[in-house]
Structure 1
Amino acid sequence: MDHESLHSTLTELAARHRVPGAQLAVIHEGERFLVHTGVCDTASGAPVERHTAFPVGSLTKPFTAALAMILVADGDVDLDEPLRGQLPEFGAGELVTLRQLLSHTSGLPSDVPEGSDEAGGGDRARWVARYCRTADLTHAPGTVFSYSNIGYVVVGRLIEAVTGMSWQEAISAILLEPLGTRPAFVVGAPATRPVATGHAVQAVRDRVVPIPDQDLPEVEMPNGALALSAEDLVGFARLYFAGCPDPQPLDRATADDMCFDQLASIAIGPYGMADGWGLGWARFDDGAADVYGHNGTGDGTSCHLRFDPANGSAVALTANANTGAQLWDALVPRLRAMGLAVGDRPAPEPPTTPPPVPDDCPGRYTNGDTEFVVQPGADGGLLLSFGGAPHSELLCSPDLRFTMRELGSGARSPGRFVTDPATGRIGYLQITGRLAPRR
C-alpha cells in the first residue's frame, strides 16, 4: 500500500461512478495515507483539498454518541436508568434508557415525519415532548433493533439538558476542539472551512447536477449535521484503538464500551445494515476480526468509516455524489487486496429462479408515519411501495430474505420478512435496518 496506488485507485473509481470529488484516508500498519481527487463543486470547479469538509450525514451519530458517553463517564447521565427524570419532556423516557437510544433498541420510530411542527426551528425540547411519547413507540424498548433517527434527536436533547449548551456548542467544545478538529455544520452557523457540494448523478439524462443545500431540519442536527474530512474521520477512529494514548476526550474504558455489541439478547438484529451494534457504532464481522464503523448519506453525498480497534487500522471515504456508495462497494475489494479488513461483504445475489412467495408476505407494514405496502407483482414476485408510489421489486429467497431492487435505478439492498413468534406468521418487514410491524 502506498499513496500512489491509493490515489490512482480513488481517481479511477471516482471517474467510473461519476463522483466529482472524493477523499480517502487510511491508517494501516502504523502508516497514514491521505489522498483526494476531483472538485468540491462542478459549478465552481474548486478542487477538493486535504481539509475540505464533506457533509457526513448519519456518520454524525457516533460523534453524538461519544459526547453522550463522555457525560456518562463524568457521572452526569446513567446508561441504564429511564430518562424521564433527567428529561421530563421525554414521555417515553419512563421506559427508555440511554443505552437503548444509542444502540437503536429504544422502540422509537425511525424517521422524523416530514413537515412535522417544530422540526425546522430546532427546538428539540418541544419536538421531543410532542413526538416521543410512550404512545409513539413502535416496539417495546429493549426487544428488537430498529434504526432510529428520532432516538438520536432525543440524545441530542439530553446533551443540551445536561450541559446547558446547544448540541452544536457541546459537540464542538467537549469533543471536537480537544481533538483539534474544526467542525463545519450543514445547518446552523455558517461554515468555517470549505464544504463540498453534493451532486445527483442522473444516468438517464447523462448529467451530474449540483445540490447546493442539505435538506436537514435543525431538530435533526444530532443525526446528520456534521461536515468533516476523511482525515477528521480516521482521527476520530483513533480514539478507539487499543493502544491510543491518554489523555483523550474519551477514556479507555468508555471507548471500549462503545465498541461492545449490545444485541446479544435482542430477538431481531440489524440485518441489512451490520452484524451487530455497539453504543453508536455498527459492528461488521470480518471473519478473523470485528470491524466497527458507520455510513452516512447526505443530499448528494456518501461517506463511510471503518476501523479495527484491535490492530489499529482505519479507512474513511468521503464522496460528493449519490453514487458514492457504489464507489465504496467497488473500493472495498481493492482495499482487501491491499491487506486492509473493512468488514463489508458483497450483497447476496438474488436467486435466478425466485421461489414461490409465501401467501402472508403481502400486506401493510408501518414504522411511525412511514407505511410500506407489499403486494404481488405482475410476474408473480413482490412489489414494494411507500409514500404512495411503487419503489422496488423484492427478489425473495426461500428463507424470507430478499434483494430490494429499486425501479428505474436498479440499485440493490438487502432486506427480509420476519416471522412473529407469537403467531407463526410473518409479522415484520425489515429494510435498511428499519423494522416495520405488520399493520
Structure 2
Amino acid sequence: MQRAEDGRDGAARPAVAAEELSALLTRLARRHGVPGAQLALRQGDEETVVQTGVTRQGGAEPMTAASPVPIGSITKLATATVVLALVADDDLDLDEPAGEVLGVAGLAGELTVRRLLSHTSGLPSDPVDVAGSCLREVRDARAVCPAGTAFSYSNLGYALVGSLIEAVTGMTWREAVEAILLRPLDLEPVYVADDRAVPGHARATGPAGARPVEQFLPPMLEPAGALALSAGALAELGRVHLGKPGLLDVVTAADMHRPVEGAEPFGLADGWGLGVAHFGAGDETWLGHDGNADGTSCFLRIDQAGACVVALTSNSVAGSDLWHDLVGELDTLGISLPVRATRSAGARRVPLPGGDFGTYRNGAVEYTIRPDETGAALDVDGEVFPELERYDDATFTVRDPATGRATPCGRFRGEPGAATAVDVGGRIARRH
C-alpha cells in the first residue's frame, strides 16, 4: 500500500500492512469473544480489507470479505444519502413539512425533512405499535421536546423519512435505496431477514461461547436499520462522502455534512448533520455513524480532510468493546480517530438528590430511577442497571450487568433535585 496524504498538514499518514491489520483484528476478536469481524481501511485510493473468525459461533463457515453483516442504524446514513440525492434533483426540499410532501393532514408543520434527518423533530425513539401505520404513530406520538430545539434520536422519524422517499420516487424504500445508492456503487443489496445475512450473537457467558440471536426488524423500521453490508461495502458508502464517485454534488454534500445548530447528540457523538454524526471537533472532525442490530455492532468513520475511511463490522454485541480497543491500536499505527468524552474533565461524584428519583418516558419506553441496595438503579422497562452514580456535571453512570463495569449512561436535564428529563443513549425521556 502506498502512503496516503493527510490533507490537514500535508504529512503522509503511514501505510498499514494487511498482515498487521489482520493480526490486530484477530487478536481483538479473541480478546472480546467476538465470533467474526471485518475491518476495511481506505486511505486515498488504497484499500485494505481483512476479516477473522466465523459467521456463526460453533459453525465452519468463515467470515469472508463479502459476508454481509446487519449494520443496524448505519442504514440511516444510506437513507439520508438517498434523500439528499433527491434534494439535489429538486424532488425534495429540506425545509418542506412532511405532511405537505405526503399530501396528508394531521402532521405538525414543524416536522420538516431537515429535522427528521437530524433527529431534531421531537419524535420519540420508537413506534408504540410496530405493526401499525407509520402516519398514525407519528400523529399520536407525544413529543419529547419542541421540534427544532434539541436532539433526540428517533427511529420513528426515519420510518417517516422512508415514507417520504416512497411518496417522491413511487418506489418502495428498498427499491429506492437500491436504484439511487447501492446499484450505482455496485453493491449487492442484502437485508437483515435474508438468509445471506450473518447472524448476530449475544455475549459469551459460558464454555459454548457467544450465543447466536435471531434478527428481527419490523417492516416499518426498515429505513432506520434494515441493511446488511460487509465492511468493504461500508467503506464504499463512506467514499460517497469523500466526493467519490460523485453521487452527491458539492453543495448538497456540504449541506448534509454541516452540523445542525442545537443538535447535541449527548452519549452518541459530538455533533450531527443530516443523517451523519460528527466525531471530534474543528479540523479533527470525522463523519460517520454507529449501528447495532440484534447481536451485531458496526462502525463507520470518514475523515474528509485526510481522505480516509475506517469501517468495522462484527457479529457480536461485544463488537463495541472490540471497537474501543481498535481505536487505541489504530492510533499507534498513525490513524487517530476521535475519542468521545463521556463527561467533563474533573467531574466528581455527588449524592443523587431525592428529587431526581422518578419515572421518565420516551414514547412507550419508561426509564425509572429508584433507590435499591446499591444506592440507586436505573430500570428500563424491567431491565435493571444498578449502582447509578451521579456527577456534578449532571452525567451519570451505571454498572453494566453484562460486563460488571461502570458505564457512562446519560445525564439529567434541569436543576439538581428537580430534573425535568434525562438523556439516555441520545434519547430525551421526559419526567412522567
Q: TM-score, normalised by structure 1?
A: 0.89
Residues 369 and 350 (structure 1), Cα distance of their counterparts in 2 relative to 1, 3 Å cut: farther
Question: Counterpart of 2:249?
Answer: 251
Distance of 2:187 and 2:367 partners within structure 1: 40
Residues 402 and 249 (structure 1), Cα distance of their counterparts in 2 relative to 1, 3 Å cut: same
Kindly state the Cα deviation for residue 350 of structure 1 after the two structures are TM-superposed: 11
The one-letter code sitting in structure 1 at the alignment partner of 2:161 is V
Q: How does 1:91-170 map to 2 (within 5 A)?
A: 91-113=106-128, 116=129, 118-119=131-132, 127-133=133-139, 136-170=142-176
1:51 partnered with 2:61 = no
Question: Counterpart of 1:228?
Answer: 229
The one-letter code sitting in structure 2 at the alignment partner of 1:148 is S
Q: Which moved more, 1:344-353 or 1:44-53?
A: 344-353
- CA RMSD between the two structures: 2.3
The one-letter code sitting in structure 1 at the alignment partner of 2:220 is V
Distance of 1:73 and 1:397 partners within structure 2: 45
Residues 38 and 103 (structure 1), Cα distance of their counterparts in 2 relative to 1, 3 Å cut: same
Kindly state the Cα deviation for residue 288 of structure 1 after the two structures are TM-superposed: 4.1
Question: Counterpart of 2:5?
Answer: none
Distance of 1:85 and 1:206 partners within structure 2: 54
SS in 1 for 2:356: coil
Q: Does the Cα contact within 8 Å between 2:270 and 2:340 map onto a contact in 1?
A: no
Question: Counterpart of 1:344?
Answer: 339
Q: 1:172 aligns with which of 154, 174, 178?
A: 178
1:391 partnered with 2:381 = no
Q: Which moved more, 1:201-210 or 1:371-380?
A: 201-210
Percent identity of equivalent pairs: 41
Distance of 1:202 and 1:245 partners within structure 2: 40
Q: 2:294 aligns with which of 299, 303, 309?
A: 299
Question: Counterpart of 1:402?
Answer: 396
Q: 2:188 aligns with which of 174, 182, 188?
A: 182
Task: Please list every run of at least 4 consecutive aligned residues from structure 1 whose deviation after the TM superposition is greater than 6 angstroms.
Answer: 349-353
Distance of 1:343 and 1:311 partners within structure 2: 14
Q: Which runs of 5+ in 1 are unaligned?
A: 120-126
Residues 204 and 391 (structure 1), Cα distance of their counterparts in 2 relative to 1, 3 Å cut: farther
The one-letter code sitting in structure 2 at the alignment partner of 1:69 is L
Distance of 1:404 and 1:89 partners within structure 2: 43
Question: Counterpart of 1:122?
Answer: none
Q: Does the Cα contact within 8 Å between 1:57 and 1:298 map onto a contact in 2?
A: yes
Residues 215 and 90 (structure 1), Cα distance of their counterparts in 2 relative to 1, 3 Å cut: farther
Q: How does 1:238-277 map to 2 (within 5 A)?
A: 238-241=239-242, 244-245=243-244, 248-262=246-260, 264=261, 266=262, 269-277=264-272
SS in 1 for 2:98: coil
Question: Counterpart of 1:24?
Answer: 39
Residues 135 and 214 (structure 1), Cα distance of their counterparts in 2 relative to 1, 3 Å cut: closer
Q: Deviations over 1:254-273 (max 9, x none)?
A: 222211100x2x2x721111
SS in 1 for 2:351: coil
The one-letter code sitting in structure 2 at the alignment partner of 1:399 is D
Distance of 2:365 and 2:275 partners within structure 1: 24
Residues 372 and 45 (structure 1), Cα distance of their counterparts in 2 relative to 1, 3 Å cut: same
Kindly state the Cα deviation for residue 345 of structure 1 after the two structures are TM-superposed: 3.5
Kindly state the Cα deviation for residue 33 of structure 1 after the two structures are TM-superposed: 1.3
Distance of 1:8 and 1:349 partners within structure 2: 35
Distance of 2:154 and 2:28 partners within structure 1: 32
Distance of 2:123 and 2:347 partners within structure 1: 37
Residues 15 and 424 (structure 1), Cα distance of their counterparts in 2 relative to 1, 3 Å cut: closer
SS in 1 for 2:399: strand
SS in 2 for 1:35: strand
> What is the aligned residue count?
416
Q: Does the Cα contact within 8 Å between 1:57 and 1:297 map onto a contact in 2?
A: yes
Residues 30 and 344 (structure 1), Cα distance of their counterparts in 2 relative to 1, 3 Å cut: farther
Kindly state the Cα deviation for residue 206 of structure 1 after the two structures are TM-superposed: 5.7
SS in 2 for 1:71: helix
Q: Does the Cα contact within 8 Å between 2:413 and 2:421 map onto a contact in 1?
A: yes
Residues 90 and 232 (structure 1), Cα distance of their counterparts in 2 relative to 1, 3 Å cut: farther
Q: Which moved more, 1:217-226 or 1:358-367?
A: 358-367
1:436 partnered with 2:416 = no
Kindly state the Cα deviation for residue 295 of structure 1 after the two structures are TM-superposed: 0.6
Q: 2:76 aligns with which of 51, 57, 61?
A: 61
The one-letter code sitting in structure 2 at the alignment partner of 1:87 is L
Kindly state the Cα deviation for residue 85 of structure 1 after the two structures are TM-superposed: 1.3
Residues 387 and 99 (structure 1), Cα distance of their counterparts in 2 relative to 1, 3 Å cut: same
Kindly state the Cα deviation for residue 239 of structure 1 after the two structures are TM-superposed: 1.4
SS in 2 for 1:99: helix
SS in 2 for 1:22: strand
Question: Counterpart of 2:361?
Answer: 366
Distance of 2:381 and 2:85 partners within structure 1: 39
Q: TM-score, normalised by structure 2?
A: 0.90
